[in-house]
Amino acid sequence: MPIYEFLCKICGKQFEVLVSIGGEKDVSCKNCGNGDIEKLVSSFGIGGGSSKLKSASNGCSTCSATSCDTCK
Q: Compare residues 32 and 63 and give the one whose CB is closer to Zn ion.
A: 32
Task: Note the residues at the interface with Zn ion (CB under 5 A).
Answer: 8, 10-11, 13, 29, 31-32, 34
Which residues are 17's β-sheet partners? 4
Give least dist CB 36 to Zn ion, A. Answer: 8
Give least dist CB 68 to Zn ion, A. Answer: 48
Residue 40 near residue 54 (C-beta atoms within 8 A): no
Tell me the one-letter amino acid at 72: K
CA atoms within 13 A on the CB side of 20: 2
Q: Compare residues 9 and 54 and give the one whose CB is closer to Zn ion.
A: 9
